Amino acid sequence: MEYRSLGRTGMQVSPLCLGAMMFGAWGEPDHDTSITIIHRALDAGINFIDTADMYSQGESEIIVGKALAGGRRDDVILATKVHAQMGVPVDAPAGTTGDPNRRGNSRRWIVREVEESLRRLGTDWIDLYQVHRPDPATDIEETLSALTDLQRQGKIRAFGCSTYPAHELVEAHWVAERRGLGRFTTEQPPYSMLVRGIEADVLPVAERYGMGVIPWSPLAAGWLSGGYRRGQEAPRSNRRDRIPARYDLSIPANQRKLDAADALGKLADEAGISLVHMAIAFVLQHPAVTAPIIGPRTMAHLESQLGAADVTLSTDILDRIDEIVPPGTTVNPADRGYQPVALTDPFRRRRRTS
């Protein structure tokens, strides 16, 4: 297994990161089955696992902790995240709110929730602690200060962020330098052949600052698994029910996504490789990328993705991909993973006249 530097942290990680979002109530509810999948990934050479407190409201972290018990923890670079609403039912609709102080990027919440993650994971330290999304209500200095203190206390080894716009990455680095604080050493953005917006700004910024990049959803949340083709019924999934904006085929953007997925599938067929391998290999070949996150729900999913690290796409195939989805293009804006308040709040973009 080839290993890659995780930004400038000094940690070495496998070129594939095992994502644990689908372990627990959101995907595979049987803990023993999930643990078997995790062990298979570790045996295949993956030494990098990413989870989050919000995944199945902490259940994913518990499963990962069980899988690493008994001597496997020391061999794994373990990453988790903080930010999203906690303390709500696991089957609550997306966007359900609870205690407003059990979410966000405040010092109060971060220093409390890291203890909960450590407990669920059954470990004394977290290798990479990530802020899951920006928080417009919290000053970035407050967040960086809390994370720096946790790092100095030895509870976390490094910290990063996820789905941050490029300008907020730059601001965070500027504040860290001016205030003598630790800095974000990694960014975890959405990136796939269908979601390429970060090529225009986030990836160049990450390269400029020497950040590790751990893209989520290289299979575009299942759209590049081979199941979305013209003339066949789309597969059912829990995600389709939770986030229809990204799956409902009555939405024009999703029709365009289906056209692109079908064309990419035909290209993979012509090249004699699976669409899954082509999709992951595409992300792996960007020079800014450290390790894309694969998120299997079943052992078959994992086995279908493991070999992607050995695939190298030719210039001709990469050029054909660019023709289907031009560089810097996100086919459906709902797949960006984060919409800034400047877009979601109309009063941020309309001058008040009275």
pLDDT band at 354 (very low <50, low <70, confident <90, very high): low
Name residue 91's beta-bridge partners. Answer: none
Label residues 302-331 b or e (16+ Cβ within 10 Å = b): bebbbbbbebebeeebeebbeebbeeebbb
Distance CA(92)–CA(106), nearest Å, equals 24
Which stretches does DSSP call E strand in the chain?
Answer: 4-5, 12-13, 17-19, 48-50, 77-82, 126-131, 156-162, 186-188, 212-213, 293-294
pLDDT above 70 covers a percentage of the chain that reads 99
For 65, 250, 287, the CA distances from 145, given in Å and listed in that order, are 27, 45, 31
Catalytic residue flag (residue 129): no
Distance CA(181)–CA(189), nearest Å, equals 23
Average pLDDT rounded to a whole number, residues 323-339: 95
Give tens-digit pLDDT for 86-141.
999 998 887 789 999 999 999 999 999 999 999 999 999 999 999 999 999 999 99
Instruction: Say whether pLDDT at 1 is over 80.
Output: no
pLDDT above 90 covers a percentage of the chain that reads 86
- Domain 4-348 indexed as CATH 3.30.360.10: no
For 115, 130, 174, 208, the CA distances from 141, given in Å and listed in that order, are 21, 15, 10, 21
Q: What's the pLDDT at 209?
A: 98
Give tens-digit pLDDT for 18-51.
999 999 999 999 999 999 999 999 999 999 999 9
From the list 3, 55, 164, 247, the catalytic residue is 55
Give tens-digit pLDDT for 144-168.
999 999 999 999 999 999 999 999 9
Contact 291, 14 (CB under 8 A): yes
Q: What's the pLDDT at 2?
A: 87
Higher local confidence (pLDDT), 250 or 154 = 154
What is the phi/psi pair of residue 128, to 5°? Answer: -140, 115
pLDDT band at 194 (very low <50, low <70, confident <90, very high): very high
pLDDT band at 340 (very low <50, low <70, confident <90, very high): confident
Average pLDDT rounded to a whole number, residues 248-270: 95
Instruction: Say whether pLDDT at 252 is over 90.
Output: yes
Contact 35, 65 (CB under 8 A): no
Mean pLDDT of the chain, nearest integer: 95
**Measured over all CA atoms, what is the biggest interatomic distance in the chain, rounded to whole angstroms?**
65
| Terminal C-alpha separation, the chain | 63
Give tens-digit pLDDT for 197-239.
999 999 999 999 999 999 999 999 999 999 888 878 777 776 7
Average pLDDT rounded to a whole number, residues 3-8: 97
Q: Mean pLDDT lowest for which of 10-14, 89-93, 263-267?
A: 89-93
What is the phi/psi pair of residue 188, to 5°? Answer: -120, 90
